[in-house]
Amino acid sequence: MSDATITGGCACSAVRYTSTKTKPIFEVKCHCTQCQKATGSAFAAIMVLPKADITVEGDLTFHSYTAPNGNVVSHGFCPICGSPVHNKNTGYPDNIYIQAGSLDDTSQFNPVKAIFTDEAAHWDNLDPKLN
Ligand SMILES: [Zn+2]
Ligand SMILES: [Zn+2]
């Protein structure tokens, strides 16, 4: 499925996105406490795509915070169903950070790295291949 278009959206389909790019820039599992809060889970599964290649239909609400490195990270979620859909980061304005659980085909996500594992919940299962 690697040559398939990347599409996805929130649980209620009010927000939908399509990427013309089929190859992510980076794929990562982020275990930081902010991602735990924003997803309500153990980590954020993030697929990084070029912003220029993605079309988002529907309006997200963003919750922003300043990361320790000074970048402002904005977690975008559907204001109707609450699903996390994608994030933005002022340090990388040309990228968009898709929450991989929102993909129509979640098999398109293949994480290559895990970050902020020192903040992981003790009940999280860290993948030794990624650390
Ligand atoms: Zn929704
Ligand atoms: Zn994080």
> What pLDDT is recorded for position 22?
74
C-alpha of residue 29 to centroid of ligand 2, in Å? 8
Q: DSSP per residue over 61-128, as a string? A: EEEEEE-TTSPEEEEEE-TTT--EEEEEETTSTTEEEEEGGGBSSGGG----EEE-GGG--TTS---T
Ligand 1 centroid to Cα of residue 88, in Å, is: 18
What are the pLDDT digits (tens) for 6-55?
Answer: 999 999 999 999 998 778 999 999 999 999 999 999 999 999 999 999 99
Where do we find the tokens 């993948």? 127
